[in-house]
Amino acid sequence: MYRETLKVSELNEEQIEAAARYLGAAADKNTAISDETIEAVNIILGTGLNLSNSQVNSLAQKADAIRAEILAAHDSAQEKNIEAGHSN
């Protein structure tokens, strides 16, 4: 889905938001998403889209924020399960 979102000639803010959601959800939750991550993923997936530095930075920041939110929610749920006497 991330690669499909980037298959355009010009990337707008709405597409950056969508790409950030896909990448943030798919990412390793314990590893931050940086500008270099965005560039590497785009090369690996062969998106062929040349993003500006500001677009790469925006995408990285938004994707990392989503990754961090998911991690925090997961950690919070795990703590509640432990407090309730459940383990995963």
Which tens digit of pLDDT belongs to each residue from 39-49?
A: 999 999 998 88
Q: What is the mean pLDDT of the chain?
A: 88
Label residue 54 exposed, middle or buried (CB < 10 Å: 0-12, 13-18, 19+).
exposed
Q: Is residue 88 part of a domain?
A: no
Domain total in the chain: 1
Tokens 């803010």 — which residue? 13
Q: d(Cα 61, Cα 27) in Å, to the nearest integer?
A: 13
Count CA within 13 A, CB hemisphere, residue 63.
Answer: 29
* Domain boundaries, position 20: 2-83
Which tens digit of pLDDT belongs to each residue from 4-36?
A: 888 777 889 999 999 999 999 999 999 999 999
Which tens digit of pLDDT belongs to each residue from 50-81?
A: 899 999 999 999 999 999 999 999 877 666 66
Q: d(Cα 75, Cα 54) in Å, to the nearest integer?
A: 31
| pTM metric for this prediction | 0.81
